């Protein structure tokens, strides 16, 4: 907890994040109702917990017991970018509702749910779109995974 607060005090992060901490409250005896503090924490953390469950369910390299663990940081982050697009633009907020509204529609980023055909229809080149340097490094797979298989090769026809 303290490490996050210390990191967010750095000049480059000031004003960019709203850091809130919700420690686990002490539990009562088994079968006792949850405390008001626990209910408040669960409501605040609902979106994060749901995303965590969704990633653990659908991304095999994020499960606890697997042989499909992510071996390169680049590959893991590429899959998480796709998961973020899927969660916000393709998948509807709830499967129980008859309305097919993804979160991006709720906040006005799009007017209709996206299909995978639309997501993958146009390749965006790093020189044509303004991106942070870390995203470009990820795109060209320049990140080196410590202790991992980092064989690189020259891309002749990539872009």
Is residue 8 in a domain? no
Q: Residues 75, 140: one domain?
A: yes
Structural domain harbouring 63: 35-69
Instruction: Please check whether residues 80 and 140 belong to one and the same domain.
Output: yes
**What pTM was computed for the model?**
0.67
pLDDT in tens, 28-49: 889 899 999 999 999 999 888 8
Give the number of other Cβ atoms within 10 Å of residue 74's Cβ. Answer: 20
Q: Is residue 116 part of a domain?
A: yes
Q: What is the pLDDT of residues 100-120, one digit of tens each?
A: 788 899 999 999 999 999 999
Residue 138 and residue 89 share a domain: yes
Residues 58 and 78 grouped into a single domain: no
118, 63: one domain: no
Cα dihedral sign for 26, 28, 34, 37?
A: negative
């Amino acid at each position: 907890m303290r490490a996050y607060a210390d990191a967010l005090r750095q000049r480059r992060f000031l004003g960019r994040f709203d850091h809130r901490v919700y420690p686990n409250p002490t539990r009562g005896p088994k079968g006792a109702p949850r405390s008001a503090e626990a209910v408040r924490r669960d409501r605040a953390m609902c979106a994060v917990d749901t995303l965590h469950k969704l990633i653990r369910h659908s991304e095999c390299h994020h499960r606890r017991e697997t042989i499909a663990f992510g071996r390169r940081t680049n590959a893991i982050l590429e899959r998480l970018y796709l998961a973020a697009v899927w969660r916000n633009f393709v998948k509807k907020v709830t499967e129980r509702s008859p309305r097919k509204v993804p979160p991006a529609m709720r906040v006005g980023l799009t007017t209709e749910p996206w299909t995978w055909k639309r997501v993958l229809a146009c390749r965006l080149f790093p020189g044509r779109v303004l991106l942070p340097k870390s995203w470009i490094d990820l795109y060209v797979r320049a990140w080196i995974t410590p202790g991992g298989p980092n064989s690189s090769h020259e891309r002749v026809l990539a872009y």
